[in-house]
A = this chain, B = another copy of it.
């Protein structure tokens, strides 16, 4: 590809040889120039969409395609929100946030298929380098290695035992995952039981009862921490159970859904398709680098105050991540319950770091860490070989938990190598450099994919979804489908846009003859 992409302010890269730390990376998602107005910026739009992540992009596209004058407002200088792809000078693509998709995540799959991109996939797992085709784990001072077939069988059994709480099978608590809180098939008492149990409590239980071995827990704990980007004390069994049942209670399917299939041309290429389609309708205006500070909702119209001025529209679709929505002032204020939810926020403070490791072998490798074994306080929980770079070296991607700004790689890039060294000293020796995004301190995300903590879903989810005057809420964080995923972002954006389009059609168009 010879296309020249622009640079975003987001993301970091570091090269050990030069000691150079760069802020800002090249991405297909960078938007330049940052504003475009299809009509006068003073006019009242049919709809304003806040946020150009997947949820907002899809909502803006659907609204603009249906003929609504649409304004997309975004704080960053790029599309994609928590999903974006950087491209280095050699043409290597790095997914900085949301990455993996699957044909059973129907909302994102539909987008890929519709744009004819569904056949251009890549795989993260790889067993080409047999010397390194294993998954290592360490717990209580003991280190394990399993080949992938063994690991699949171990994890399948361990997850089944772990996930089913005594007296309440996961299929009773979450019989039909897209309807977490009001499935006609589920028992609300069981749902509540799952949501008030933390994954840490459950680990203690299965360990005490001898249901799982130290080896099994070494792999399982790291996997669940990977899913939450947080220590298990903060993780709700209900949220975990929902994912597990989305995966039909099969480790293989769950893993296929979570961490296997990538878009070969990068997430930003899909986001770009959606954005370009919206722009091609001639109905889209947009304003990037325009953080919203205030939303004033009146019956006739909603006004949105940004750093670039105030805009107004008949409807507003707000896709602000729940961990930053509270920074925006609402007039009239949102409900006390919603404020409380925003204050509590979700628990995922994952740090995702790609590192180039000399030689191709680590392409086939997986590593898992538990707490006890990293005296200095652990930052990473899991790492996998993710791709071969143009250099012929492997790129290993690692996931952290409970991001600590004090220890941020951008403050101490030379320390990254030793973080990887916790898995295997060989990684530290072969370390070349890194590319990453610090989601935990990102002012427009303040966290990674949204993982509600213990009790959060049953207490707040309905409220977070409910409309507030002319303001409709969307985003992966509050989705009923694959919550916290690209799929959920697209699903909720799709639904919100449909509601707005329907209301617009009823009031704007002559009633059709039927």
Which residue from B103, B250, B494 sits with its C-beta under 8 Å from A110?
A: B494
A113, CB-defined interface residue at 8 Å: yes
In this complex, what residue of B is CB-closest to A121? B184
Minimum CB–CB distance for A153 against chain B, Å: 14
A182, CB-defined interface residue at 8 Å: yes
Give the chain B neighbours of A491 by CB distance below 8 A. 110, 113
Minimum CB–CB distance for A171 against chain B, Å: 10
Which residue from B177, B248, B284 sits with its C-beta under 8 Å from A252?
A: B248
The reply to whether A510 and B282 form a contact with Cβ atoms under 8 Å apart is: yes
In this complex, what residue of B is CB-closest to A37? B513
A41, CB-defined interface residue at 8 Å: no
Cα–Cα, bound, A235→B282 (Å) = 50
Minimum CB–CB distance for A98 against chain B, Å: 17
Interface size for A (C-beta < 8 A) is 47
A291, CB-defined interface residue at 8 Å: no
Give the chain B neighbours of A509 by CB distance below 8 A. 280-282
Which residue from B67, B106, B280, B494 sits with its C-beta under 8 Å from A512?
A: B280
Minimum CB–CB distance for A467 against chain B, Å: 13
A167, CB-defined interface residue at 8 Å: no
Cα–Cα, bound, A404→B252 (Å) = 43
Subset of 16 A-B contacts with CB under 8 Å: A36-B514, A103-B177, A103-B178, A106-B106, A106-B107, A110-B110, A110-B491, A116-B498, A121-B184, A248-B253, A250-B250, A250-B253, A253-B253, A280-B505, A280-B509, A280-B512
A114, CB-defined interface residue at 8 Å: yes
Which residue from B185, B279, B481, B505 sits with its C-beta under 8 Å from A514?
A: B279
Cα–Cα, bound, A176→B120 (Å) = 13
Give the chain B neighbours of A279 by CB distance below 8 A. 512-514
The reply to whether B178 and A498 form a contact with Cβ atoms under 8 Å apart is: no
- In residues 55-101 of chain A, which contact B (Cβ within 8 Å)? 65-67
Given A36-B514, A279-B514, 9 more A-B residue pairs with CB atoms under 8 Å apart are A103-B106, A104-B104, A106-B106, A106-B107, A110-B110, A114-B495, A248-B252, A250-B250, A253-B253
Give the chain B neighbours of A510 by CB distance below 8 A. 282
A460, CB-defined interface residue at 8 Å: no
- In residues 448-497 of chain A, which contact B (Cβ within 8 Å)? 481, 491, 494-495
A118, CB-defined interface residue at 8 Å: yes
- In residues 96-143 of chain A, which contact B (Cβ within 8 Å)? 103-107, 109-110, 113-116, 118-119, 121, 123
In this complex, what residue of B is CB-closest to A31? B514
A179, CB-defined interface residue at 8 Å: yes
Minimum CB–CB distance for A448 against chain B, Å: 24
Give the chain B neighbours of A177 by CB distance below 8 A. 103
A276, CB-defined interface residue at 8 Å: yes
Minimum CB–CB distance for A7 against chain B, Å: 17
Asked whether A114 and B498 contact (CB < 8 A) given A103-B178, A178-B103, A250-B250, the answer is yes
Which residue from B67, B179, B248, B505 sits with its C-beta under 8 Å from A248?
A: B248
